[in-house]
Amino acid sequence: MSLTLQDNGKKWIQTGVAILCMLIVYILIKFFTQMGEWFELESKIQFYMAITQVVSVATAFGVFLYIIRNTKTRTFLEEVYQEATKVVWPDKNETVRHTIGIMIGVSIVGTLLAVFDLVAAWLLSLVS
């Protein structure tokens, strides 16, 4: 049994939640920056950018702590990780075969739609 399975993926779950919180920080900073530009808040509020960055980091840290300390959420994420470890990914040959099949199917459907479009346009040109 690997070390990853022994700890129920705890380190991977925490890493994923940390990455999610970094994304939250980025989105919040972009949001506050845009709001500051729209409403000219940089000129109205002293240290606007510093305040928004502190608020963004504090919010993301709060989200991180909430997710990690909440037993329902932690249990759910552990179950998701356990199920994800059971996934069997297709090998290269199978992936290439499915990709080619999808490309052929999409080409056929695209061709049929193009033919239907041309026929409909031709019929409409006869009517008008």
Q: What is the Cα–Cα distance from 85 to 43, expressed in whole angstroms?
A: 52
CB neighbours of 64 closer than 8 A, spacing ≥ 6? 17, 18, 21
Has residue 50 got a pLDDT over 60?
yes
Q: Please compute the mean of the pLDDT values over residues 48-67 and round it to a whole number.
A: 96
Q: What pLDDT sits at residue 10?
A: 87
- In total, the chain counts a number of residues equal to 128
Query: Contact, 24 vs 59, CB < 8 A?
Result: yes
pLDDT tens digits along 68-123: 999 999 999 999 999 988 999 899 999 999 999 999 999 999 999 999 999 999 99
Q: What pLDDT sits at residue 8?
A: 63
DSSP letter string over 32-80? HHHHHHHHTHHHHSTTHHHHHHHHHHHHHHHHHHHHHH-HHHHHHHHHH
Q: What pLDDT sits at residue 1?
A: 44
Q: What pLDDT sits at residue 121?
A: 96
pLDDT tens digits along 1-35: 454 445 668 899 999 999 999 999 999 999 999 99
Question: b/e map of 16-36 (b: 16 or more CB within 10 Å)?
Answer: ebeeebeebbeebbeebbeeb
